[in-house]
């Protein structure tokens, strides 16, 4: 009986020694994507939730990367800079103090484009070209935000019933060096 037991132990040992596993290959490390990634966030504009996206770190100040409040209503905006704020891409801009009916210059972040068709002509002031005012140009994707700003800031402004003769009302927007621009001819 002892010999049988001994033989079994030897055979099992030999079997186990012949089954030495090969060294395990190291697990592949997950690839780390380099470069900027697009981020998206929701912004509340007068009770309407808008989803906007931006790519921080690409050296382009896209709309909503500059200091854009997370929430605005007809009276005021929050004082934060929103989830998409990318100060590495955008020069910090101090918010202008607005007098009634006087709008700030459209910031560079609202004018970024790749081609002429990305640009749209909008009212530069409360009255616009159809009421004695001026025009400016913005990236088409910024038009809605700009119009909401006009709606809030110009709600108590009366405009003359006269067509403007300002040159900005008669030229087409162009995308020059990735900035929507009106050129006086």
Mean pLDDT of 65-73: 78
Given this model, what pLDDT does residue 99 score? Answer: 39
Concatenated DSSP letters of 127-162: S-GGGT--EEEEEGGGHHHHHHHHHHHTTT----SS
pLDDT at 116 over 90: yes
What percent of the chain is predicted at pLDDT more than 90? 17
pTM here?
0.45
Given this model, what pLDDT does residue 100 score? Answer: 40
Residue with more model confidence, 128 or 45 = 128
Q: Per residue in 92-112, pLDDT tens?
A: 443 333 334 444 455 666 788
Q: Per residue in 10-68, pLDDT tens?
A: 565 655 555 555 555 555 555 445 667 788 888 876 677 777 788 888 777 777 777 77
d(CA 170, CA 7): 103
Given this model, what pLDDT does residue 130 score? Answer: 92
pLDDT at 154 over 80: yes
In the chain, where the domains are located: 38-95, 97-185
Mean pLDDT of 79-87: 81
**Rg for the chain (alpha carbons), in Å?**
31
Given this model, what pLDDT does residue 93 score? Answer: 41
d(CA 62, CA 118): 13
């Amino acid at each position: 009986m002892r010999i049988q037991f001994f033989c079994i132990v030897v055979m099992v040992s030999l079997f186990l020694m012949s089954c030495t596993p090969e060294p395990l290959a190291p697990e592949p490390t997950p690839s780390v994507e380099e470069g900027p990634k697009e981020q998206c966030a929701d912004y509340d504009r007068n009770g309407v939730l808008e989803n906007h996206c931006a790519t921080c770190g690409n050296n382009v100040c896209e709309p909503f990367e500059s200091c854009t409040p997370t929430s605005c209503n007809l009276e005021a905006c929050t004082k934060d800079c929103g989830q998409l704020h990318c100060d590495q891409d955008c020069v910090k801009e101090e918010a202008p103090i607005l007098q009634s009916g006087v709008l700030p210059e459209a910031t560079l972040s609202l004018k970024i484009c790749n081609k002429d068709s990305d640009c749209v002509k909008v009212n530069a002031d409360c009255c616009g070209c159809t009421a004695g005012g001026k025009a400016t140009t913005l990236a088409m994707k910024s038009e809605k935000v700009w119009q909401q700003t006009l709606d809030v800031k110009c709600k108590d402004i009366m405009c003359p019933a006269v067509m403007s003769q300002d040159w900005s009302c008669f030229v087409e927007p162009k995308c020059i060096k990735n900035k929507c621009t009106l050129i006086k001819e």
